[in-house]
Amino acid sequence: MKAKVGMEVSWHLRMLLFISFASSFLNVSYAQTNNDYDTPAAPPPGLSNCNGVFLTYSFTSRDKEYPHIKNATAQAWAFKSSATIVNTGEYEVKAWQMFVGFQHKETLVSATGATIVDSDDFPVDASNGTTFAGGSQADLKTSIETAGDFTQISAQIDITGTQFGVKPPGVPMPSIIKLVNNGYKCPKATMRGSYNY
Ligand SMILES: *[C@@H]1O[C@H](CO)[C@@H](O)[C@H](O)[C@H]1NC(C)=O
Ligand SMILES: *[C@@H]1O[C@H](CO)[C@@H](O)[C@H](O)[C@H]1NC(C)=O
- Same domain? For 96 and 72 the reply is yes
- Per-residue pLDDT of the chain (197 residues), as tens digits, is 444 444 454 555 555 555 554 544 443 333 223 333 333 344 456 778 888 999 999 999 999 999 999 999 999 999 999 999 999 999 999 999 999 999 999 999 999 999 999 998 999 999 999 999 998 789 999 999 999 999 999 999 999 999 999 999 999 999 999 999 988 888 776 664 433 33
Indicate if 35 and 128 belong to the same structural domain. no
Pocket of ligand 2 (CB under 6 A): 125, 127-128
Atom 5 in ligand 1: which residue has the minimum CA distance? Answer: 74
Asked whether the beta carbons of 108 and 122 are under 8 A apart, the reply is yes
39-41-44 Cα angle (round to 5): 95
Contact by Cβ (8 Å): 62, 80? yes
Probe residue for ligand 1, chosen from 68, 70, 71, 164 as the CB with the greatest number of ligand atoms within 8 Å: 71
Residues 132 and 54 in one domain: yes
> Does one domain contain both 10 and 85?
no
Are both 88 and 169 inside the same structural domain? yes
Total structural domains within the chain: 2
Q: Please list, residue by residue across 9-37, b when 16 or more beta carbons sit within 10 angstroms of its beta carbon and e when fewer do.
A: eeeeeebeebbeebeebbeebeeeeeeee
Domain with 69, as residue range(s), is 47-196
Same domain, 99 and 24: no
For residue 74, the 8-state DSSP code is G
For residues 61 and 105, membership in a common domain is answered with yes
Same-domain check for residues 3 and 77: no
- How remote is the CA of residue 130 from the centroid of ligand 2, in Å? 12
User: Is residue 126 located within the same domain as residue 33?
Assistant: no
Contact 116, 130 (CB under 8 A): yes
**CA distance from start to end of the chain:** 41
What's 62's domain CATH number? Answer: 2.60.40.290
Please tell me whether the overall predicted TM-score, pTM, comes out greater than 0.85 for this model. no
Instruction: Note whether 61 and 16 are same-domain residues.
Output: no
